[in-house]
Amino acid sequence: MAVRIRTAKYPWDNIRSAYVEGIRNEHELRYPTLEELAHDYGPDPAHLRRRASAEGWAEQRKMYQKKLDEARQDEKVSALAREAVKFDQECLELARVGMNHVRGHFLAAQDKFKNSNGKEAMAATMLERLSRAAERYQKVGRLALGEPTEHSREDGAPENVITDEAVKAAFGALYGNKPSAEGPAE
């Protein structure tokens, strides 16, 4: 007596997969209806609907689509995070270059002052511009690092970082004498 192996008349795994996971072509992912699958694979539409219902294909499709959407959203978040990191790194580099540029101006002014025996000082307006540029570059760098850019007083108001006293102190440090917003003491 020969043993007869029964094979499935229809490729049920393929049919279920096409329904649950959809059919991908070059441009899109399309979810066929049960009627379309019955037409494409050959089973009786009523039999296909009963089997799909008994095996929970509709719920499986919803779960699959939900997981697919979550994976897509996770990838979007990851891509945006990578772009944000790259942008922050570029901003930090810009801040470094800018601060080095400002530093170069300060050092050049200091050398010029020393070499002129204290006769050629940096103008107060130039010192103010360089100080403001340094402050802006510092803010860019701090933002890129995720740090706060403003110092706050106890009352919550932002503190003015560049004050007249700060300018005078900068001149004093630059020229090594009594602080003055007009430049070196005569």
Q: Rounded distance, CA 150 to CA 103, Å?
A: 22
At residue 118, the pLDDT reads 74
The CA angle 76-144-106, to the nearest 5 degrees, is 155
Q: Taking the model in full, what pTM does it have?
A: 0.53
CB 22 within 8 A of CB 31: yes
Percent of the residues in the chain that have a pLDDT greater than 90, as a whole number: 53
pLDDT digits (tens, 9 = 90+) for 128-175: 898 899 999 999 999 988 888 776 667 666 665 556 666 666 666 665
The segment with the largest mean pLDDT, out of 47-56, 131-140, 174-183, is 47-56
At residue 178, the pLDDT reads 47
* pLDDT exceeds 70 at position 10: yes
**What band does 185 get if pLDDT is binned at 50, 70 and 90?**
very low
At residue 117, the pLDDT reads 81
pLDDT digits (tens, 9 = 90+) for 65-84: 999 999 999 999 999 999 99
Q: How far is CA 43 from the centre of its chain?
A: 51
* pLDDT exceeds 50 at position 182: no
Per DSSP, the three-state class of 152 is strand
**Virtual torsion, Cα 109, 114, 116, 117, nearest 10 deg:** 140
More confident residue, 2 or 68: 68
Under DSSP, the state recorded for 112 is H
Residue closest to 48 by CA, chosen among 18, 16, 85, 70: 16
* pLDDT exceeds 50 at position 180: no
* pLDDT exceeds 80 at position 47: yes
**Cα dihedral sign, 44-49-52-55:** negative
